[in-house]
Amino acid sequence: MLLGVDVGGTFTDAVLSVDGRLVAAKTPTTPDDQSRGVLEAVRAALDAAGARAQDVRALAHGMTVATNALLEGDHARTAFVATDGFTDLVELGRQSRRELYWLCSAHPSPLAPPELRFGAAERMGPRSTLRALRAQDAATLAERVAQAAPEAVAVCLLHAWRDPAHELAIGAALRERLGPEVHVSLSHDVVGTLREFERAATTEIDAALSPLLARYLARLRERTRAAGLPDAQVMQSSGGLIDADTAARHAALTVLSGPAGGAAAAALVARAAGEPNLLCFDMGGTSCDVCVVEGGEVRETASREVAGRPLALPMVDIHTVGAGGGSIAWRDAGGALRVGPRSAGALPGPAAYGRGGTAPTVTDAHVVLGTLGEDTPLAGGVRLAAGPAWEAVGRLAGELGLAPPACAEGILRVANAEMVRALRVMTVERGLDPRDFALLAFGGAGPLHAAAIADELGMRRILVPRASGVLSALGLAAADRRVQRQRSVLLSGAGLSDAALDATRRELLAEGRAILDVPRASARVAYEMRYRGQSHELSVRGGVQESAGELREAFAAEHELRYGWREDPAAVEVVTIRVAAVETGPALGPAPAAQLGAERPGPAVLRLAETTIVVPAGWRAKPDANGGHVLERER
């Protein structure tokens, strides 16, 4: 048996795969201790399957611990060590304003305050040591840091990505003086690429969040072992699983752990349905996550910002907006109707849940309009009450001068507009035409909004997969185990040779296989490349066999596709090489035999076990061969 558990802001989902049969369960998320909610969801899935914990072969887990801590500013007391004269590197950033022409837009404050920043008496140059680090200076620095009583320390020295000798020496001195209770993150180990600001900010995040994640994973391990379950594998932001010990040492790897499970599931659906190009939106109770699948693979990015802070680590390219079933509708100071980003969450939840919530939400709007009814319980056994939903929406309607049904329609239109904007960010703003894709809708609320969003984007085909309400958990159960290593190499001209590429690829793959503890793990390689003189790179996917000439041609083709031009024979530079050591995930078995029924023309509402599908006029719905549903616009 394979078990995947995904923690969301409102529900915790569990999916158990038993000989190709999928058994799903939803329970409310427990924000005070997510591990408690994980075990409740697992028990519900095991009970539904008539199975025992001892039968579970693998447990995969996606969570929001690191994400929430970063968003809420809940982190360990963190010290920051940098080369003398560069201790304010994170605070200085790239410019004093977050946005150049918005004077009041500010960067988030560094996680290490000024009194916890320490300079190291050393200086590495890009090709040589300019000021050697003496053992006594490292010991003195460690003593100064110890006097500040930090819970974690981030170390980021100039050019450590090229030569980490000084970082290793300082790390050893800190660990000897501070002991194992204080976490130490070294930038060359966490990031390993150039650009000091991004490397420093990422290392600081890693140090600040790792103690919290380590405590959470320790509690989870205690609970799973007491229940007779295997230790959890943790989903990382890049879309692969790692062991809990590695995740605890490097929390920065898991900041997008939850949404990455949905991206992994989207790739599974793309392959099973024979739809290589998908726009995917996962609408849950708190937020909506959007990603793109091209050629059967989820698009990845080498870095991104989370909560206004740069993370220079490879991750699935996901855009998140605060539009979920529990998103609260409100009237702003100008009298306009707004939805989100604040959510009713798991407790008290939407007013229709009858748990004390009084604010109107997207779910309450659906109850008022009749797309969700009292007669059909939601997944997780939640029964809806129409009275509280009408009261909550009615109060907002009074503020806006509308009738409650008109207000409910407005709530849904505003929520849809936010999700359409997110999909356009991932497509139109990047040169992709949404009409060339099918729309994959999942999450408990996704199929409720899919057709309206497809209409807005001019899309004609929608996939609602089996187990769509818990698809992220399903993706976790079938996810690959993966360790990613990266290194900046700055290869160009004669230096961009087959031998140089091969040497770096082999070394990074060996590191990844050693961490994964799978000597014959397969390799996935990506190259961050640019024309010489450009400031930013394009990612070119490849393998372990590409020659320098093949890479140059692949980059030129990608550049032309993205920007409409190529410059031959301009100098091409490989800035960074990323290698993932991958152990392929387990197969979930074939889909259930197709139970194809008649097509259902709209308008119609299809109530399924884990979700509800709205089929408007002008659309038709039919079951597909993989156990899900397909919606197509009538011509």
Instruction: Please report the pLDDT score of residue 9 as a whole number.
Output: 80
Identify the band that residue 16 occupies on the pLDDT scale cut at 50, 70 and 90: very high
Beta carbons of 67 and 256 less than 8 angstroms apart: yes
User: What pLDDT does 15 receive?
Assistant: 93
pLDDT at 285: 84
- The CATH classification number of 75-212 equals 3.40.50
Between CA 516 and CA 53 the distance in angstroms is: 25
> Cα torsion at 372, 378, 379, 380 (round to 10°)?
160
Question: Residue 518 above 70 pLDDT?
Answer: yes
Residue for token pair 């994973």: 217
pLDDT surpassing 70 at residue 589: no
**pLDDT-derived band at 88, boundaries 50, 70, 90:** very high
CA distance 219 to 33: 9
Residue-wise pLDDT for 207-228, tens only, equals 999 999 999 999 999 999 999 9
Residue 303 identity: S
Cα distance between residue 505 and residue 520, in whole Å? 15
Pairing type for strands 78-83 and 117-120 reads parallel
CA angle 593, 595, 598 (to 5 degrees): 155
Q: Return the percentage of the chain with pLDDT > 90, whole number.
A: 71
- Name every residue whose Cβ is closer than 8 Å to that of residue 251 and which is 6 or more positions away in sequence: 66, 205, 206, 209, 210, 212, 213, 214
Q: What is the pLDDT of residue 68?
A: 83
CA–CA distance, 270 with 268 (Å, rounded to integer): 5
Question: What is the rounded CA–CA span in Å between residue 297 and residue 376?
Answer: 36
Res 345: pLDDT: 80
Instruction: Reply yes or no on whether the pLDDT at 595 is more than 70.
Output: no
In the chain, ranges of CATH 3.30.420.40 domains:
2-70+214-230
Helix H or strand E segment including 426: helix 404-426
**Residue 594: pLDDT over 60:** no
The alpha helices in 21-134, defined as continuous H runs, are 34-49, 65-72, 89-92
Residue ranges, comma separated, of all CATH 3.30.1490 domains in the chain are: 481-583
Give the closest residue to 519 by CA, choosing from 581, 439, 606, 578.
Answer: 581
Q: Can you name the residues that pair with 25 across neighbouring β-strands?
A: 14
Domain 2-70+214-230 coded CATH 3.30.420.40 = yes
Q: H/E element holding 551?
A: helix 548-563
CB under 8 Å to 626, separation ≥6 — which residues? 269, 272, 273, 465, 466, 591, 594
70-to-246, 315, 526 alpha-carbon distances in Å: 19, 17, 28
Assess whether pLDDT exceeds 60 at residue 592.
no
Return the pLDDT at 573.
97
Average of per-residue pLDDT across 435-449 = 94
Q: Smallest Cα–Cα separation from 405: which of 377, 446, 364?
A: 364
Phi-psi domain of 615 (left: phi exceeds 0; alpha: psi -120 through 50; beta: other): beta
Kindly report the length of the chain: 635
* CATH topology for the 481-583 domain: Dna Ligase; domain 1 (3.30.1490)
123-153 tens-digit pLDDT? 999 889 999 999 999 999 999 999 999 999 9
Task: Work out the average pLDDT over 511-527.
Answer: 94
- Please give the Cα distance from 297 to 542 (Å, whole number): 13
Two tokens, residue 229 = 């379950």
Gap between the Cα atoms of 156 and 167, Å rounded: 7
pLDDT score, position 380: 63
Dig out the tokens for 398 from the structure: 């009074």
- Global pTM reads 0.89
**568 versus 213: which is more confidently predicted?**
213
pLDDT in tens, 27-52: 888 988 999 999 999 999 999 999 99
CA proximity to 233, closest of 476, 457, 578 = 476
* Rounded average pLDDT over 455-467: 93
Percentage of residues in the chain having pLDDT higher than 70: 98
Asked if the model's pLDDT at residue 458 lies above 80, the reply is yes
Average pLDDT, the chain: 92
- What pLDDT is attached to residue 593? 53
**Strands 538-542, 522-531: pairing kind:** antiparallel
Count Cα neighbours of 596 within 13 Å in the Cβ-side half-sphere: 6
Both tokens assigned to 490: 């700055």
How many of the other CB atoms lie within 10 Å of CB of 134? 12
d(CA 409, CA 53): 45
Residues of the chain with CATH 3.40.50: 75-212
pLDDT at 587 over 80: no
Distance CA 450, CA 458 (A): 12
User: How much is the average pLDDT of 83-112?
Assistant: 90
| Beta strands 300-301; 315-316: pairing state | antiparallel
